[in-house]
Amino acid sequence: MVQGAMAGRSWLKSLAFPIAAAGVFVLACDNPPPPPPQAAVASQIGPGPTPADPGGAPFGCGLNAQDIIAVTNSDCESSNPSGLACIGNPDKAESVATGNDAVTVACTISAAPGGVYVTAKVQVDAGKDAGNITFSGTFKAPDLSMCMPAGTTKGCPTTPQQADTGDLNVTFVRADTGGFDGTSPGCTAWYTNVRSSPGDVKTGPFNPLMGAAPGRLWMTIACPAAAYKGSAMGHTACDSVATIKLENCDPGTTN
């Protein structure tokens, strides 16, 4: 599991903004604007299941493994060009704010029964990574009750923890190849850094620093057979994996 300099302190809690300091004056003025939403994304599409796999499609996907979109800032890319190992590294700033580097981030993550409800789209409008990821669904917070001490991110079991609650809908789009659709139960989300294949994601070790809370989310989505809308040859079942970190999203209305 990845803990680094943030060990013992969850990523969700670390995002709380300081609101008190000595000598602060209270002024009768408008509140400052909220920080813009930002995202870090590492995502890939793969050949998908073949007839040799249980339930495999006749031709799989017909595509070689390739990135869908990659969204990481220059500090992250300088140490890891693909961005894969950088997301979640406490020593590297990985996210890109909406409006920068041809990236647009639109997301609402609001409290809901059983966790949070998310609607999000991360769009890249230029370069080799042009495309987008759009997804929605309800996600539950990770269970830290078995960590030692309970409620912390230390000494946690590595047993995989699923993040979605069964209503996950995902669309991936590459500007050159077209779109890929996935829905539950085909697509699932997990609190793990593993991204080598959808099957590995589901069995990958739990990362207790990941999670979901109003306004922010960090998880990995696995789709073993996303429907390829751009195929003209019946190659319709692609596998896809995406690690997504969202911050400063609209937290929605709280009662």
Which pLDDT tens digit goes with each residue over 133-189? Answer: 999 999 999 999 999 999 889 999 999 999 999 999 999 888 887 788 877 568 999
- State how beta strands 38-46 and 66-71 pair: antiparallel
CA distance 116 to 111: 4
% residues pLDDT > 70 (the chain)? 71
Q: Is the pLDDT of residue 24 over 80?
A: no
Name which of 97-106, 115-124, 183-192, 225-234 the model is least confident about. 225-234
For the chain, what is the radius of gyration of the CA atoms? 19
Every domain of the chain and the residues it spans: 36-247
Please report where in the chains the tokens 């989310």 appear, as a residue: 217
pLDDT band at 237 (very low <50, low <70, confident <90, very high): confident
Q: 192 or 72: whose pLDDT is higher?
A: 192
The model scores a pTM over 0.95: no
HSE value, Cβ hemisphere, 13 Å, CA-based, for 175: 11
- Tell me: pLDDT of 18 over 70: no
Residues 16 and 47: beta-carbon distance below 8 Å? no
* Per-residue pLDDT tens digits for 26-60: 444 567 888 999 999 988 888 776 655 555 445 56
Tokens of 39: 């995202």
